[in-house]
Structure 1
Amino acid sequence: MTEYVFTPAQPPSLAVKGSDARFPLRRVFCVGRNYSEHAREMGHDPDREPPFFFMKPADAVVPAEGVIAYPPLTADLHHEVELVVAIGKGGVDINPEDALSHVWGYGVGIDLTRRDLQAEAKKLSRPWEWAKAFDESAPTTALQPVSAVGHPSSGKIWLKVNGQLRQVGDLADLIWNVSEVISHASKSAALKPGDLIFTGTPAGVGAVQRGDVLSAGIDGLGELRFTLGQG
């Protein structure tokens, strides 16, 4: 029996809709600029060069409900609504034609971003971690298995702040679809059960303030709602 110097934390996990079971989390991959209009609003020309990834820690994933803390060190916190893919079967160098067989299910998530820290990191050619990988930076709905929702390839994706529509797009507008994203990620790292992939956000990202109520959803996958706390 392994002896630890202190009691390990419980592994992070997400609820499964309609079940008492939970989906254990391993790693969180995020795709940058995967919708054309969002790429343009961030000052880039979208094209079909291979997608790029950044990561969040698994314990940054929290239920997208109740109160989510406004993080420290920022005065410019942005919302980014995304389709979340839950990997149920591992693989390396996965062919796009086989990629969907590795998916366990899907959810809706928010990539919270400290945009001012990201801008400073870009200016200094430094990594983005402090802008992306902070506590509670990935609020996510309960996951739904493929058996319940299939493999969504189109459908409205949206986000509101205090009832006002900020982001709206369609999953069909992804530059790199789910199969292609999985394939590209698996060429760099071995995907394993428990990995999540945030697939990118449509145009309309913007700042949110303490006390704001965020709601978001994807057709066929459900909705989320939470309040930003005082931090």
Structure 2
Amino acid sequence: MKYLRIGRPGFETPVALHEGKYYDLSGPIGDIDGEFLSRGGIRTTAGFPEIDIAGERVAPPIARPGAIVCIGMNYAAHCAESGAEPPAEPVVFYKHPNTIVGPYDEVEIPRGSTRTDWEVELGVVFAKRASYLESEEAALDCIAGFLVADDVSEREFQIERSGGQFSKGKACPTFTPLGPWLVTPDEVADPQDLHLWSKVNGEARQDSSSGDMIFSVARIIHHMSQFMAFDPGDLLLTGTPEGVALSGRFPYLKAGDVVEVGIDGLGATANPTVQA
């Protein structure tokens, strides 16, 4: 099953995409949020009306989560291009939930920014509370679904003006495009065997596999559950592969650019950039 949301901000309609058809889940469902996901979503589209979404805004596929927990430096090649040693334990930072936008919405270049960057990432959304998990198998059982994310980053804010943490460069408005779908685990054979890619103005940037992660999805969730609790509806971003502007190989983003990020089987985003 694939879940998505359509409509203008604040008035989104939850939708299911199943076997090429779209179904309106509004009414008894409410929204694609922690409560809905903790109930296991839906098992069948029977009884839900089919709808045409042509011309509708595609919104973020999940309602605003309680937390966005992010893992930094989780691909060895990205560590190398950033001039950093691979970490011994997962590097963690947070993004504000109000940074989330849809897969085709505008992304704002912050005022004073000259180093705004892109990062394709595999996102994980929770269906169960994850706290003090006993195993990596238990960690996988907490997953409601997977999605495509662009962890947009301002590198000067993140590094030179960080004060010792990443969040200044990660939490600017519109810095977390998501979508177009939340894809349930039964449609993802192996989260460590997914092709990730990004483009800027149609030119290739990142081209990698989630198999290159230093810490797997299951290991991240199990490890982090020893330090914090994930709630249903929370979002985990699992790191980005090499091929970002921070490497020095590509120019940073400017207003008028279009950033595409995608993961095979999970869809892609295409966000135009504008000046804040």
Matching residue of 2:230: 191
Q: CA RMSD in A?
A: 2.2
What TM-score, normalized to structure 2?
A: 0.74
User: What amino acid is the match of 1:196?
Assistant: L
Given candidates 225, 238, 261, the residue that maps to 1:216 is: 261
CA distance in 1, matches of 2:96, 2:189: 27
Runs of 4+ in 1 over 3 A off after TM superposition: 13-17, 147-151
- Does residue 149 (structure 1) correspond to residue 188 (structure 2)? The answer is yes
Cα pair distance change 1:120/1:16, threshold 3 Å? farther
Which ranges in structure 2 are unaligned for 5 or more consecutive residues?
Answer: 1-8, 18-22, 26-30, 34-62, 246-251
Once the two structures are superposed, residues 170-204 of structure 1 have per-residue CA deviations (whole angstroms, 9 ceiling, x without a partner) of 01111101000111221111111011000000001
**Looking at CA atoms only, which structure, 1 or 2, has the larger radius of gyration?**
2
- In structure 1, distance between residues paired with 2:123 and 2:14: 14
Deviations 1:126-169 (A, max 9, x none): 33222111211111103122233354221210000001001111
| Corresponding position of 1:104 | 144
For the 8 Å contact 1:70–1:230, the answer to whether it is kept is yes
Q: 1:84 to 1:138 in 2, by over 3 A?
A: same
Q: Which piece of structure 1 moves more, 99-108 or 67-76?
A: 67-76
1:1-231 alignment, distance < 5 Å: 18=17, 20=25, 21-23=31-33, 24=63, 25-47=65-87, 49-94=88-133, 95-121=135-161, 125-141=163-179, 142-206=181-245, 207-231=252-276
Unaligned runs of 5+ in 1: 1-9
- Residues 36-58 of structure 1, C-alpha deviations (whole Å, 9 max, x = no match): 000011111225x1101000111
The CA distance in 2 between the partners of 1:180 and 1:17, in whole Å, is 30
- Give, as a single letter, the amino acid of the residue that structure 1 aligns with 2:201: N
* Matched-pair contact (CA < 8 Å) for 1:106–1:146: yes
Q: TM-score, normalised by structure 1?
A: 0.87
Point out which structure has higher relative CO (alpha carbons under 8 A, 6+ apart): 1
Matched-pair contact (CA < 8 Å) for 2:81–2:242: yes
Q: What percentage of residue pairs aligned between the two structures are identical?
A: 32
